[in-house]
Amino acid sequence: QVQLVESGGGSVQAGGSLRLSCAASGFRYSGNCMAWFRQAPGKEREGVANIYSSGGIIYSADSVKDRFTISQDEGKGTVYLQMNSLKPEDTAMYYCAVEIDRFCYGLGTAQQYHYWGLGTQVTVSA
């Protein structure tokens, strides 16, 4: 079955960095739209960045474009989110998601993704 397992979250001070990982299994890694979303308490789940697993086409939210970088290791079936210059407003649960056999047409919405990980918490203190 499809499994997405996130790791790498934690607590950091503003200006710090974290690297999130999402290990994918249970499906062919190539040819899918892999994404990172986040959800803060009381807010809707929002897209952070996504990447097409067979070509590396990338979309990022404007709020993170100069600070966060999505990448992948196709051989390991793993997607990463490097987060630099973290701000308190980046505090959220971060989720990995995949839409299988689908190209990434823009960042998309949460409703467009059928498979999700359980998330990893990122907390940024001022």
Distance CA 10, CA 123 (A): 6
- Banded model confidence at residue 57, pLDDT cuts 50, 70, 90: confident
Q: In this structure, are residues 47 and 56 in contact, taking their beta carbons and an 8 Å threshold?
A: no
> Is 68 exposed, middle or buried (CB count within 10 Å of its CB: 0-12, 13-18, 19+)?
buried
- List pLDDT tens digits, range 59-116: 999 999 999 999 999 999 999 999 999 999 999 999 999 999 999 989 989 999 999 9
